[in-house]
């Protein structure tokens, strides 16, 4: 089992040590989840304030960073309910500063994908980010979001279908024609 322990003292990591070690990753996770750097910083700040007051209970968990990420997802979902479906607008560099600005087609595709992900409903977006950005298994996502693994797969399926529709719509008539030809070919099989 994985324990977040301080190798020097042998005990649980302090809150300050946890923040130093995990803050950049938590901020990146929240930025991809929210689609907006400012919102992600607000959410992480709120979560860390609550986590600090509960650190004596959180620090004894097997994976406190997992619990903090769950808190981020819950805060994101609560903020989305409060904001009544505001679609954040931002650029790819606002979301993830690990990438170097680039004028290649791949970078443009990333920006479009992040914008499309920002349009998904909160639950679907959370599942997509946890599955593809964080690399979590369906069972871990289900635990984090308090859902059944089948529900996680359903949200992922609907999100991917929405992303496919969005990408075909944005690509224009040529892509739609190619997509309908591919669909017709698949229907003939």
- Burial letters 99-131, b for 16+ CB under 10 A, else e: eeeeeeeeeeebbeebbbbbebebbbbbbbbbb
Nearest CA-CA partner of 97 in 25, 170, 19 = 25
Compute φ and ψ for 84, nearest 5 degrees: 55, 55
What pLDDT does residue 157 have?
A: 93
Q: What is the pTM of this model?
A: 0.58
Architecture of domain 1-90: Orthogonal Bundle (1.10)
Please say if the pLDDT value at position 189 is more than 60.
no
172 has a pLDDT exceeding 80:
no
The C-alpha angle with vertex 30 and arms to 61 and 169, in degrees rounded to 5, equals 135
To the question of domain 120-189 being in CATH 1.10.10.10, the answer is yes
3-state secondary structure of 5: strand
Query: Whats the size of the chain, residue-wise?
Result: 189
Extents of the domains making up the chain: 1-90, 120-189
């Amino acid at each position: 089992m994985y324990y977040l322990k301080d190798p020097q003292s042998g005990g649980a990591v302090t809150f300050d040590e946890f923040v130093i070690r995990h803050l950049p990753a938590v901020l990146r996770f929240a930025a991809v989840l929210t689609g907006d750097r400012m919102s992600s910083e607000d959410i992480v700040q709120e979560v860390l304030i609550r986590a600090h007051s509960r650190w004596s209970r959180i620090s004894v968990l097997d994976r406190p960073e997992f619990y903090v990420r769950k808190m981020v997802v819950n805060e994101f979902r609560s903020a989305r309910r409060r904001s009544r479906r505001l679609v954040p607008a931002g650029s790819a560099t606002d979301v993830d500063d690990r990438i170097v600005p680039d004028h290649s087609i791949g970078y443009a595709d990333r920006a479009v994908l992040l914008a499309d992900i920002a349009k998904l409903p909160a639950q679907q977006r959370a599942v997509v980010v946890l599955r593809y950005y964080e690399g979590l298994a369906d069972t871990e996502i289900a635990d984090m979001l308090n859902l059944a693994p089948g529900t996680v797969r359903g949200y992922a399926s609907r999100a991917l279908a929405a992303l496919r529709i969005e990408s075909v719509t944005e690509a224009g008539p040529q892509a739609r024609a190619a997509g309908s030809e591919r669909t017709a070919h698949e229907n003939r099989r």
